[in-house]
Amino acid sequence: MKPIVKIKNFLLLFFVFISPSLEANKTTHIDTIYLGSGCFWGAEKGYESLDGVIDAQSGYANGYGIKPNYRSIIQLKNKYNDNNFAEVVKITYNSNAINLEKILKHFFETHDPTQLNRQGNDIGTQYRSTILFSNEKQRQLAIEIMEEYQELLINAGYGKVRTKIEPLDNFYFAEDYHQDYLKKNPNGYCPDLSTGIVFNDANKTLLNNEPLRKGKQILVLDSQNYCPYCEKLKLNVTDEYKGSIPISYRTSDQLHGLQVFSPTWATPSIIFLKNGKEVFAHQGYIDHKDFYELLGKFKLGDSEAFNVAFNKGTDARFCKEYEIFKNTPDGVFIDKLSGMPLFDTRDRFVSRSGWLSFTKPVEGSVYELPDNSYGMRRTEIRSISSDIHLGHVFDDGPNGLPRYCINATVLEFKPRNEAI
């Protein structure tokens, strides 16, 4: 019986002293890696978008003799200081849900690792490309992935990878205003400085840009990776657009055959093309009001329609557009820029005023503002979709109904069977 007692005692000691380590092993699938690829703002959000990443936090790593804060690392004297801190992102991830290989491939695909101590216009040692490992397994994998990407880059005509792979020596969290920066600053852009080279491009297709070389086109430069500003632009502006000028989406590596002069590293960017050549562009997120003002300049140019839409001008009485629109067949008048319905021919009547007249707008299509210009008290009518000026509403319509007095130059017409 004594041996059994000894075994029992041994098992008791085993669970007392060994079980804490077994308990700790339950969380060994939670791991961290520290990656620097230029400015940490966009990088942080990109990592957070990956399934399996628990958290991404901005910070400063592997600096010596310098205070670990933003003000210190951007000082001119530290711009080319090899001891400067690197802007990095601490990535905490569940290795059961995402492996480090996928994270490292995302790292290389989302910046230009061939640039030394810079990414685009961000120049200095704090913007260096770096992988900071915590163990030998991470180091070996980082080297393997880097060598694989180097081969892809060489085949595409790029130079040597400048990414520094070294052990993590120190790390300090960045200031609060740097954490979740893109969430705190909703009207901006995501820096997209990637080479466009991906690890597996077997499914990558060459898009046909020939349609973009014909007439006027709107080109939205999208990110090759997750970009909250791009998603916000689609949600708030472009998804609702129904105008006559086509809108297309491309990434910076899909502009073949087009003459684009503006930098393509900021997403989203809106590029206005004519016959495949850039007329002008806007970098960064833009709200619907500013988008339509740019579109107005592009589509309407220096015209009476632009003056009406954006300077609250008024059509000449019995203008050409009025004469065309006063007797159209059954259909709908739409916003000349957004393409959204504004007025219905069923509500049109002849007022003999020299302007198009309606008893009501399409429900939810316009809003009213008081207008006391020129010594008069009137009510202005504006389009909800594009915010352009449409005309005024008066109380002298037929049978006691309102008279919506609308400028024809800011409208287009669609037969009912073609209307939205």
Q: How many domains does the chain have?
A: 3
Task: Indicate whether 172 pLDDT > 60.
Answer: yes
Mean pLDDT throughout 87-94? 96
**Are 149 and 251 contained in the same domain?**
no
Q: What is the mean pLDDT of residues 301-307?
A: 96
Alpha helices in 110-255 (DSSP H): 136-155, 181-184, 228-236
What is the chain's mean pLDDT, rounded? 89
Question: Could you report the per-residue pLDDT of 92-150, keeping only the tens digit for each?
Answer: 999 999 999 999 999 999 999 999 999 988 899 999 999 999 999 999 999 999 999 99
329 and 266, same domain (yes or no): no
- Whether residues 136 and 42 share a domain: the answer is yes
Q: Domain for residue 339, yes or no? A: yes
Element holding 8 (H helix, E strand): helix 2-25
CB count, 10 Å around CB of 82?
Answer: 10
User: What pLDDT score was predicted for residue 204?
Assistant: 59
- DSSP 3-state assignment of 229? helix
Annotated active-site residue 190? The verdict is: no
- For residues 41 and 168, state if they share a domain: yes
177-203 pLDDT, tens per residue? 888 877 777 777 777 788 888 898 655
Task: Indicate if 44 and 151 belong to the same structural domain.
Answer: yes
CATH assignment of the domain containing 404:
2.170.150.20
Q: Per the residue annotation, which of 39, 190, 227, 230 is the catalytic one?
A: 39
Residue 197 inside a domain? The answer is no
185 within domain boundaries: no
Peptide bond into 113 cis (omega under 30): no
SS3 372: coil
Do 71 and 173 lie in one domain? The reply is: yes
Same domain, 277 and 314: no
> Above 80 in pLDDT, residue 335?
yes
At which of 222, 253, 286 does a domain end?
A: 286
- Over the stretch 248-282, which tens digit does the pLDDT of each residue have? 999 888 999 999 999 888 899 999 999 999 999 99
Q: Which of 111, 107, 88 has the alpha carbon at shortest distance from 265? A: 111
The CATH number of residue 46's host domain is 3.30.1060.10
319 annotated active-site: no
In whole angstroms, what is the distance from residue 109 CA to residue 143 CA? Answer: 15
- The pLDDT of 348-365, averaged and rounded, is 96
With a pLDDT cut of 90, the percent of the chain lying above it is 76
pLDDT for the residue 6? 41
pLDDT value at position 191? 73
- 60 and 169 together in one domain: yes
Give the pLDDT score at 4. 38
Regarding whether 279 and 323 lie in a shared domain, the answer is no
347 lies in some domain: yes
Tell me the mean pLDDT in the region 212-222: 96
Say whether pLDDT at 14 is over 80.
no
Is 301 among the domain residues?
Answer: no
Q: Which pLDDT score is estimated for 8?
A: 40
Residue 20's pLDDT is 45
Q: Residue 281 falls within a domain, yes or no?
A: yes
pTM for this prediction: 0.74
Residue 55 CB partners (closer than 8 Å, separation 6+):
48, 90, 91, 92
Read off the pLDDT band of 228 (50, 70, 90): confident
Catalytic residue among 190, 227, 230, 405: 405
Give the domain extent around 33. 27-179
